[in-house]
């Protein structure tokens, strides 16, 4: 539903970061990267294409979907009643899950390149603290840029998992983990 994202973009351009929802191909590729997780935390769930793909690809795996904008979060909860939708910042939710056991995977559509600098920095810090607790944890993040989504501290390793060419624009899917 592009119109929802368009309204969100008009309300809050920097944190929305996109006018078009993620394509089905991109959403499926993001969900495939999370296979094997004990639980998934989706960051910046927006209008829900990645949420839908995660439910299809990982049936029965607990899913928390985080969305900052209240109107989008309400629509997500109405559309996906089995999902634990949190209307909160990614940092708040990730900080709160740091001690949760199991192989947790963060699947993110957060627009790191357009987020306000301070929000971007505190979110990256929170994600890195979370990943550093367990080398089995990972972040899956897409970007339209030809480089890693953000600069991570030295002890972390970025790996480009795939490029989804049939997406407008083509998107790289990257994974971030702490070095073993």
Ligand X SMILES: C[S@@+](CC[C@H](N)C(=O)[O-])C[C@H]1O[C@@H](n2cnc3c(N)ncnc32)[C@H](O)[C@@H]1O
Residues forming the site for ligand X (CB under 6 A): 5, 8, 15-18, 21-22, 43-44, 46-47, 49-50, 66-69, 72, 89-90, 109-111, 115, 119, 123
Q: How far is the CB of 42 from ligand X (least distance, A)?
A: 8
* Distances from the Cα of 64 to the Cα of 7, 69, 122, 157, angstroms: 24, 15, 20, 25
Q: How far is the CB of 86 from ligand X (least distance, A)?
A: 9
* List of residues 6+ apart from 91 with CB closer than 8 A: 119, 122, 123, 126
Q: How far is the CB of 114 from ligand X (least distance, A)?
A: 9
**Which CB, 21 or 149, lies closer to ligand X?**
21
Cα dihedral 17, 95, 26, 60, rounded to 10, equals: -140
**Which CB, 4 or 136, lies closer to ligand X?**
4
**Which CB, 50 or 178, lies closer to ligand X?**
50
* List of residues 6+ apart from 169 with CB closer than 8 A: 144
Cα dihedral 22, 76, 66, 148, rounded to 10, equals: 0
**Which CB, 115 or 178, lies closer to ligand X?**
115
Q: How far is the CB of 9 from ligand X (least distance, A)?
A: 8
């Amino acid at each position: 539903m592009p119109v929802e994202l368009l309204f969100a973009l008009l309300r809050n351009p920097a944190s929305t970061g996109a006018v078009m929802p993620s394509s089905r191909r991109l959403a499926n590729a993001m969900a495939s990267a999370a296979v094997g997780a004990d639980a998934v935390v989706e960051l910046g769930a927006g209008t829900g294409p990645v949420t839908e793909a995660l439910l299809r690809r990982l049936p029965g795996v607990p899913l928390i979907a985080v969305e900052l904008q209240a109107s989008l979060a309400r629509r997500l909860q109405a559309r996906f009643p089995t999902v634990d939708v949190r209307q909160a910042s990614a940092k708040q939710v990730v900080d709160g899950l740091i001690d949760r056991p199991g192989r947790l995977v963060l699947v993110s559509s957060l627009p790191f390149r357009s987020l306000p600098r301070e929000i971007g920095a505190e979110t990256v810090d929170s994600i890195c603290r979370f990943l550093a607790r367990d080398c089995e944890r990972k972040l899956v993040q897409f970007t339209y840029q030809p480089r890693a989504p953000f600069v991570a501290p030295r002890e972390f390793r970025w790996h480009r998992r795939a490029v989804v060419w049939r997406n407008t624009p083509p998107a790289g899917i990257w994974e971030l983990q702490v070095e073993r």
